[in-house]
Amino acid sequence: DVKVTQSSRYLVKRTGEKVFLECVQDMDHENMFWYRQDPGLGLRLIYFSYDVKMKEKGDIPEGYSVSREKKERFSLILESASTNQTSMYLCASRRTRQGAGGYTFGSGTRLTVV
Amino acid sequence: GIQVEQSPPDLILQEGANSTLRCNFSDSVNNLQWFHQNPWGQLINLFYIPSGTKQNGRLSATTVATERYSLLYISSSQTTDSGVYFCAVALSSNTGKLIFGQGTTLQVKP
């Protein structure tokens, strides 16, 4: 089975800190995604990547950046964390070659910014 | 943009009961998945089902792409089935963005 691993399950950071959320997948998937989930707002796409060094903005990219230097790793960066970025962050990956299946999600990171 | 609507929003069952969750979508899709979000927040993939019918134990799903809906059946429900069930789709013309419904919150009582 494809495994998507997020580096932290819970994280507490201070306002203004630079925060890195790491996501690693082990099945050579081309596409990777970062979502955040908030009560009443559902899951919203922050950024995604088609392949190494490629990135595209999702629906709510403000305040975030991403890095994909290697195919298996997709990092979400909060340049200067703010309290409104307190949320559940979910990473996903997907294969796009012929016969591709669905998306696989990591276990999530609950980030609290104080 | 595409609309993904799930019903019912909330469902309470007694253990052992059967249930049907519905997902309607407003455009042609090339990906449809059902997920179960566990109490720790992880999205567990139940089915990848852009069309047709699949079964996995007590769960089964059917997608009728031409009529733009999908159904998730849960039979002989157990308390461990509790949680939020999401339907998510990706458009045929899209490069992979997954769009989620608002979810159905299921509570199974012992």
Beta carbons of A42 and B103 less than 8 Å apart: yes
Evaluate whether B47 touches B54 at the Cβ level (below 8 Å): yes
Dist. CA B42–CA B71, nearest whole Å: 22
Instruction: Say whether A83 sits in a helix, a strand or coil.
Output: helix
Cβ of B83 under 8 Å from any chain A Cβ?
no
First to last CA, chain B: 40
Dist. CA A24–CA B65, nearest whole Å: 33
3-state secondary structure A37-48: EECCCEEEEEEE
pLDDT at B95: 61
Beta carbons of B40 and A107 less than 8 Å apart: yes
Structure-derived torsion over alpha carbons of residues B85, B90, B95, B97, reported in degrees to the nearest 10: -30
**pLDDT tens track for A43-59:** 999 999 988 999 999 99
pLDDT at B1: 80
- Of B86, B95, B100, which has the smallest distance from its Cβ to A50's Cβ? B95
**pLDDT tens track for B38-93:** 888 889 999 999 999 999 999 999 999 999 999 999 999 999 999 999 999 987 65
Dist. CA A4–CA B103, nearest whole Å: 22
Residues of chain A with pLDDT under 70: 1-2, 97-100
Report residue B34 as tokens: 């059902």
- Of A43, A56, A108, which has the smallest distance from its Cβ to B42's Cβ? A108
| Residue of A85, A93, A87, A90 whose CA lies nearest to A108 | A90
Residues belonging to chain A with any Cβ–Cβ distance to chain B shorter than 8 Å: 9, 31, 33, 37, 42-43, 45, 48, 50, 56, 58, 88, 90, 92, 94, 96, 101-108, 110
